[in-house]
Amino acid sequence: MELINLNQSIAKNAHFIEEIGIESGQPVQKCYQCGKCTAGCPVAFAMDYTPNQVIRMVQLGMKEDLLKSKTIWICASCSTCSTRCPCNVEIAHVMETLRIMAGRSGTAPAGKAKYVEVMYNALLSTVEKYGRTYEVGLVLQNNLKSGKLFNGAEMGLPMFQKGKLKLSPSKVKGAAEVARIFSEVRKMEGGV
């Protein structure tokens, strides 16, 4: 990380700090860097910034670094951090909020972070279409968009043999109602 001028960063991104606090509903300013979140995080090994660093970066208004970080996507939302935080900051929810903001700002995730976003989109597109998750469609779309064409390919045959692979989607009668949920949210928020 480069040297940063804290006064400038905080002044420049005051709005962002406030926005995170309001949108996540979390008292991020209370964090005193005890590091308990990071100590218990099962996926910290794959992150570019650890959970406690993310909260500190929020306090310091480091918007750009945060929105393009891998951490906010690789977080598994297991809430170990949220459960243990002595300041009652739901860190996992802050991560989610940052992820949503990154999507809204058009910040394109890269590498492992991109794979997470691709999976989200693949899953949600099957839900928007059929009303339920369609596992085969999800994997196919996931592989096409991530460029990992044979990801999970070895799963196909054994899954099929065990009767765990349904080759056609089950569409709910109210699929149009589910599609409406997506379009209404888009109207209210823009994006999704």
Partner 1 sequence: MRYAYYPGCSYHGTGKEYESSTHAVAKKLGMELVEIPDWSCCGATAAHGKSHLLNISLPARNLAIAEDMGIMDVTTGCAACYQQLAHANKRMTENKETREKVNKITGKEYKGTLKVKSLVEAIGTIDPELLKAQVVKPLSDLKVAAYYGCLLVRPPEITGFDDPENPMFMDNMMKLAGAQALDWAHKTECCGASLGVSNLDVAVRMINRILKAAVESGADCVVVACPFCHLNLDWHQKSVNKQLGTTYEMPVFYFTELLGLAMGISPDELGLKTHFTDTQKVLSLVG
C-alpha span between 115 and 85 (Å, rounded): 29
* Residue 17 binds partner 1, judged by CB under 8 A: no
CB of 190 to partner 1, least distance (A): 10
* Count of residues touching partner 1 (by CB under 8 A): 66
Binding-site member from 152, 153, 156, 157 for partner 1 (CB under 8 A): 152
* Residue 115 binds partner 1, judged by CB under 8 A: yes
Radius of gyration of the chain (CA): 19
Nearer to partner 1, 36 or 60 (CB): 36
Binding-site member from 11, 14, 34, 155 for partner 1 (CB under 8 A): 155
Nearer to partner 1, 65 or 128 (CB): 128
Considering only CA atoms, which of 18, 40, 24 is closest in space to residue 89?
24
* Residue 119 binds partner 1, judged by CB under 8 A: yes
* Residue 50 binds partner 1, judged by CB under 8 A: no
* Residue 49 binds partner 1, judged by CB under 8 A: no
In the complex, the residues that contact partner 1 under the rule CB under 8 A are 23, 42-43, 45-46, 73-74, 76-80, 82-83, 90, 92, 96-97, 99-100, 103, 112, 115-121, 123-124, 127, 131-133, 135, 138-139, 142, 146, 151-152, 155, 158-159, 162-166, 170, 172-175, 177-178, 180-182, 184-185, 188-189, 191-192
